[in-house]
Structure 1
Amino acid sequence: LDGTAREIVATGLRQPGDLALYHGLLWTGDTGWDALKGMGQIDEIDRVTPGADFGFPVCAGDEASLPCPDDVTPPAYTFPAHSTPLGMAAYRGDAIPILQDTLLVVLSGNRNDPVIAGFMVTALRFDAQGQFVERYDLMPNGDRLAGGARYTTDQLNYRNSGFFPRRPLDLAVSPEGWVYVSISGGRILALRQPGE
């Protein structure tokens, strides 16, 4: 690669936070408008295909009050406004079997919104064609790890026992399958099976 063959692969993204290769496809997380407090599902996970137009600034996510034109590529998955999908990685390890074949997403949140959204790490599973299959949250509550969770992520954040007011920023998966998460305030956390 010498940088001479530049190409615009996709348009209509506002703030793509990260890129990941998952199932051999390129994915990105995109954050909707800051000013639209109280809007619905406007933060997105998008499967990037050549020539895709994801609609910004005309529309975002699945928000019914901002319908997208027919030629806009719909998001693969949406999150509430201000969830802020920043970091992403495909899980390719063996250490945490429930994570195999998932796309891990850091939802960094927004401390300036009266409604807490995001502030978690979640796992999304898509099939080989990019169709959504399931979602489950990993941190801070781990609803499918170690027998379930006593509190929801929102409850933990409102109790100041989750990430909030700190923000998860990015993640990486080690060769053995541990998940490392960076958070504001200068910390890196490790998610691994108990006893490891």
Structure 2
Amino acid sequence: MAARLPARIRRGALFAALLMAPLVTTLAEAQPAARETLAVTGTPRRLEAPAGVHIDKRVALDYPRLISLGQDGEMFIGSKAGIVYRLRPPYDRAQELVRLDDYPHSAVRRGDALYVATTDALLRADYHTGAALTAADFREVAAIPGGGGHNSRSLSLGPDGRLYVSLGIQGNCSNQYLGSGYGPDRRRGGVMVLDESGAEPVWRPYVSGLRNPVGLAWRDDATLYASNNGPDHWGFERPREVLVRAEPGRFFGMPWFQWIDNKVTRDDCIGVAPPKPASEVTPPVATFPARSAPMGLAFLPDGHPLGVDLIVALHGSWATAPTGGAGGDPATRREPALMGVRLDKTGRHGEAVPLVTGFQDAAGRRWARPVGVAVGPDGAVYFTSDSGETGLYRLTVDTSGEN
């Protein structure tokens, strides 16, 4: 990434100004220079994307969520439908690998095992490429704090070989925290790592103070990044959604503090004293419009023609202006999108730019909502939609100059 930085700085004064700032500032989502309307192969739909981008629907799926890639090119996709899907290259056919209760939002393979994160537990089954599985093949490895509200659990295999899971607090202002002083039923709001050094596996806090982190992705410097869905009670414009660099031990403040207008602001909706002071709140790397609901993340290979470091799936949300609540004109809802983020050399400052838009019409009707995103072994970007025309989509870029 560092080798590409000088070329990126020359692309415009906006990014150069970002690098000189002491902290990440709120950046306008500047449009890429060349964009065009493209047809989505396999659907009657059209989208807006950078010139040269092609998008096709690979396969229909039932409420698919996060994507992971395993050994031998196998792809695993969790779902709200209780299904873990398995796909093999070229990812145009899907198999129901297993049906599980309690919302199998994400699944990853590690060695000769497949792990699935449900709302209440991490499950494991012995697995080899192409194996058949049933629900009876899975056993519980470790309980995950469950309960109502924000019930997705995002699982990630770290470069250190350990398993990480993210989970949100129950609501906007729930007194829940991943740290000391909070019992097992209230340990929510951040990322945990599985400690397998003892007789029984146990979760340890990794980062805390995130209201609802969903997307997890690892940079090539072995640093974890996470997307976060902010609260609804500040209205329609604030606070902006955030992307964070989730270094171990970091505290991001929620629900006690919000990142408002480029500064840490106390949220008076919760009267309980915060577990850490405002001075220990870590600023975000980049921000997105409020109520846009960032989901899956994926880092792109060096030199990717999209010209960004990572892709973020914005799910859009039900919230409408002016209050941010559920009532109001659907046309004012934040629209779903695929966003790109360009990082500086340190990886702590970023610029958000739109890549793919047009999932929502002027009346607020949506034909798709991106959730999971991953880069396949073929270099293509894959993303899921769990609403409207649900399924798996593939994004490729024509670099020949011919469309």
Common fold: TM-score over 0.5: yes
Q: How do 1:1-196 and structure 2 match up within 5 A?
A: 2=196, 4=201, 6-24=203-221, 25-63=223-261, 67=265, 69-92=278-301, 96-99=304-307, 102-114=309-321, 115-140=332-357, 157-159=360-362, 164=366, 166-183=368-385, 184-185=387-388, 186-194=390-398
Mean Cα deviation higher: 166-175 or 65-74: 65-74
Separation in structure 2 between the aligned mates of residue 175 and residue 89 of structure 1, nearest angstrom: 13
Cα distance in 2 for partners of 1:192, 1:163 equals 26
Matched residues in 2 for 1:22 and 1:74: separation? 18
CA contact (8 A) 2:335 2:360 kept: no
Instruction: Give the corresponding residue for 1:149.
Output: none
RMSD (CA atoms): 2.8
Deviations 1:93-119 (A, max 9, x none): 76x5234x6111001111342433241
Distance 2:367 2:235 in 1: 18
Q: Larger strand proportion, structure 1 or 2?
A: 2
The whole-number CA distance in structure 2 between the counterparts of 1:76 and 1:66 is: 14
- Distance in 2, matches of 1:17 and 1:163, equals 24
* 1:104 alignment partner, SS class: strand
Distance 1:65 1:26, change over 3 A: closer
What is the TM-score with the length of structure 1 in the denominator? 0.77
| Counterpart amino acid of residue 130 in structure 1 | G
Question: Which residue type is aligned with residue 9 of structure 1?
Answer: Y
Q: Distance in 2 between matches of 1:85 and 1:119?
A: 9
- Paired residues, what number? 179
**Contact 2:288–2:352 (CA<8 Å) still a contact in 1?**
no
Between 5-14 and 83-92, report the one with greater CA deviation: 5-14
Gap change, CA 1:44 and 1:16, over 3 Å in 2: same
Q: 1:13: how far off?
A: 0.7
2:342 maps to amino acid: R
3-state SS of 2:280 partner: coil
Question: Which residue identity does 1:182 align to in structure 2?
Answer: T
Q: Which runs of 5+ in 1 are unaligned?
A: 141-152
- Separation in 2, partners of 1:85, 1:113: 16
Aligned residues with identical type, % of pairs: 27
The two structures have a TM-score, normalised by structure 2, of 0.40
Structure 1 consecutive aligned stretches of length 4 or more whose deviation exceeds 4 Å:
63-66
Output the CA distance in 1 between the equivalents of 2:229 and 2:371.
Answer: 14
Residues of 2 paired with 1:31 and 1:109: CA distance? 10
Unaligned runs of 5+ in 2: 1-161, 163-195, 267-277, 322-331
* CA distance in structure 2 between the aligned counterparts of 1:192 and 1:7, rounded to whole angstroms: 39
Residues 12 and 56 in structure 1, CA contact (< 8 A), matched pair in contact too: yes
- CA-CA distance at 1:86 after TM superposition: 0.7
Per the TM alignment, residue 91 of structure 1 is displaced from its structure 2 partner at its CA by 0.8
Separation in structure 1 between the aligned mates of residue 392 and residue 203 of structure 2, nearest angstrom = 35
Deviations 1:111-166 (A, max 9, x none): 342433241001101124123243321112xxxxxxxxxxxx5xx73436x98353
